[in-house]
A and B are shown apart, each in its own frame.
Chain A
Amino acid sequence: QSVLTQPPSVSGAPGQRVTISCTGSSSSIGTGYDVHWYQQLPGRAPKLLIYGTTNRPSGVPDRFSGSRSGTSASLAITGLQAEDEADYYCQSYDSSLSGVVFGGGTKLTVL
């Protein structure tokens, strides 16, 4: 069981907006540690999508955005495209574990 909790799956039609939640605790996201998001296409290494909770690396479309509220964080994807179909992971730090933690991952299906 992962320290950060994500829904196993989400889906949406092309053009729609979807959000993926990432729920932590007072020793992780609630403490203010940065949250990062990764996209993993089948058979590929993960790709950094959002860092520092809200920042996009160069080359990542502005359709992807991140936010935080309390002990949770969210990844929003607008204007859904077929190429967005992938697994998405959140990541943060947990002070009670003294280490990096990942969410269990969310599979996004574009209908």
Chain B
Amino acid sequence: EVQLVESGGVLVQPGRSLRLSCAASGFTFDDYAMHWVRQAPGKGLEWVSGISWNSGTIPYADSVKGRFTISRDNAKNSLYLQMNSLRAEDTALYFCAKEALAGNWAIDYWGQGTLVTVSS
């Protein structure tokens, strides 16, 4: 059974940094691209970033480019999101997500999310 378990979400002040983690199990982690998708309270889904199986392709949404860094450790079956210079508008539930097929961007498994609140 595929499982994606996010952690690291907390209440943090504007301008500070935070690192999210996602522990993956139930599939061959290094065969698949992974993504972070966020959802602000009461709002829609927003794609944040993705990373190919070998970390060779790493796109970002314009809203986080230059502030967030996605990475993965295939030996540890883990995905990460380093979030710097956090803003109030980064407040959201952050989902770790597995890509279904290489290059088609569909997401077939989602974690339950970890909540990041940016507030003073």
Identify the A interface with B (CB < 8 A).
2, 33-34, 36, 38, 40, 45-48, 51-52, 57, 87, 89, 91-93, 97-105
Say yes or no: B105 contacts A34, CB within 8 Å. yes
Q: Which of B7-15, B22-30, B56-64, B77-85 contacts A (4 or more CB under 8 A)?
A: B56-64
On whether the beta carbons of B100 and A51 are closer than 8 Å, the reply is yes
Contacting residues of chain B (79-114) with chain A, CB-CB under 8 angstroms: 95, 100-101, 104-108, 110-113
Can you give 28 A-B contacts (C-beta < 8 A)? A33-B105, A36-B104, A36-B105, A38-B45, A38-B107, A45-B95, A46-B45, A47-B110, A48-B107, A48-B108, A51-B100, A51-B106, A52-B104, A89-B44, A89-B45, A91-B47, A91-B106, A92-B105, A97-B61, A99-B47, A99-B59, A99-B60, A99-B61, A100-B47, A100-B59, A102-B46, A102-B47, A105-B45
Closest 9 A/B residue pairs (Cβ): A45-B110, A105-B44, A51-B106, A100-B47, A36-B106, A102-B45, A99-B59, A34-B104, A104-B44
Assign chain B's interface to a size class: 20 to 34
**Inter-chain contacts of A87 with B (CB < 8 A):** 44
What string of 1s and 0s marks CB contacts (under 8 Å) between B57-77 and chain A? 001111000000000000000
Q: Is the CB of B105 within 8 A of A45?
A: no
Question: Is A45 a contact partner of B112 (Cβ separation < 8 A)?
Answer: yes
The answer for the CA separation of A73 and B101 in the assembled complex, in Å, is 20
- Cα–Cα, bound, A101→B104 (Å): 12
Residues in B whose Cβ lies below 8 Å from that of A100: 35, 47, 50, 59, 105
Residue of A nearest to B46 (CB): A102
Interface string of B21-56 (1 = CB under 8 A from A): 000000000000001010000001111001000000
CA distance A99 to B112 in the complex (A): 23
Chain A hits for B105, CB < 8 A: 33-34, 36, 91-93, 100
